[in-house]
Amino acid sequence: MSTRISARELFEQQKEKLALRWLAGQKGASREIEAGDTRSRRPSLAGYLNVIYPNRVQILGTEELAWLDTLDSRQRWETIEKVIDNRPLALVISKNQSCPEDLRAAAEETDTPLWVSPKRGHELFNHLSYHLARTLAPSVTLHGVFMEIYSIGVLITGEAGSGKSELALELLSRGHRLVADDAPEFTQIAPDVLDGTCPELLQDLLEVRGLGVLNVREMFGDTAVKKNKYLRLIVHLTRPMTEPTAHGYERLTGDSGTRHVLDLDVPLITLPVMPGRNLAVLTEAATRLHILRTKGIDPAAMFIARHSNLLERSTP
């Protein structure tokens, strides 16, 4: 399902922050852009007035309006016509400047949204660029419990009934924080960053078998809930059919790997679920181990190196 946003949605989302007012083209409120609209072309999602490579949201600052005033009547109309023909999502005039009547008339006639804001051009550019990039960024919903453990985002996954929610509940009692239960949403906001959030419907809620739905904020306080967090590690719970007989390198390095999420390979650690195992302690240890590995400290590699050096010294 493609990610998209309409002019009306963008206006409502940024109306208060940018103090936007709608001047003309209200009938074009349903005009939309999709995530892939600019992938194969030079224009960006938002930028200053550009006729050659038109941006999806065209910002008209002092310089742009002054440049239009230098054109003769024919060139001016042709320029405005080019801007309108490229069907921008919206035109935005900065610093509450007076809107030229010919621009207002063209926007009204073609149902092109035309807004004005008291903000300066660079402020509009920064806010709109960031907001559109985040809104239209690739996203995916994964099944699991997303938590903040030792300041990093950890997604706990596993089959139904593997104990994800019970583990999350115990981690909450140990001072860690819940981001989302059951269906966290992840958005790739940068080439190497996946930002995880909770759907509004599930905000603050955790479902535990036998107890039903719990309100984590009411039970543990405001500090037990986190609005969003970057995904850095996945802990996958498995239920082995038989007693595990891991040997060799797996005994030393653990069951580690990666899981491909959108365009990123996220580190993954698999923990078998068996009677008598304290999964909360194991998950905390897995998180600490991941933090060490990101710093270049690998206990298994250190042990293997020590063992190799010992063998070399023992060999005559």
- Predicted pLDDT of residue 102: 93
**DSSP letter, residue 164:** H
Residue 251 bears catalytic tag: yes
Give me the chain's average pLDDT, please.
Answer: 89
Q: Which residues of 194-222 are buried (b: 16+ CB within 10 A; e: fewer)?
A: bbbbbeeebebbbeeeeeeebebeeebee
Chosen CATH of 4-135 out of 3.90.550.10, 3.40.30.10, 3.30.9.10, 3.40.1390.20: 3.40.1390.20
Residue 192 bears catalytic tag: no
Residue of 119, 131, 164, 236 with catalytic role: 164
Q: Which CATH homologous superfamily contains domain 139-307? A: P-loop containing nucleotide triphosphate hydrolases (3.40.50.300)
Amino acid code (one letter) for 109 = E
- Predicted pLDDT of residue 8: 94
Tell me the pLDDT tens digit for each residue of 118-139: 999 999 999 999 899 888 888 8
Residue of 31, 177, 182, 236 with catalytic role: 182
Q: Determine the 3-state secondary structure of 114 from DSSP.
A: strand
- Predicted pLDDT of residue 264: 93
Residue of 42, 143, 174, 209 with catalytic role: 143
CA quadruple 122, 124, 127, 128: dihedral, nearest 10: -120
Percent of the chain with pLDDT over 90: 69
Q: Determine the 3-state secondary structure of 49 from DSSP.
A: coil
Q: Read off the pLDDT of each residue in 234-252 and give the average, rounded to a whole number.
A: 69
Question: Confidence class of residue 40 from pLDDT cuts 50, 70 and 90?
Answer: very low
The answer, yes or no, to whether residue 164 has pLDDT greater than 60, is yes
Residue 182 bears catalytic tag: yes
The answer, yes or no, to whether residue 288 has pLDDT greater than 80, is yes
Residue 247 bears catalytic tag: no
Q: Read off the pLDDT of each residue in 172-183 and give the average, rounded to a whole number.
A: 95
Distance CA 46, CA 123 (A): 12
Residue of 251, 277, 306, 307 with catalytic role: 251
Question: Confidence class of residue 1 from pLDDT cuts 50, 70 and 90?
Answer: very low
CATH 3.40.1390.20 domain locations along the chain: 4-135
Choice between 249 and 143, residue whose per-residue pLDDT is larger: 143
CATH 3.40.50.300 domain locations along the chain: 139-307
143-152, 223-232, 262-271, 303-312: range with lowest mean pLDDT: 303-312
The answer, yes or no, to whether residue 103 has pLDDT greater than 90, is yes
Nearest C-alpha neighbor of 268 from the set 149, 184, 155: 155
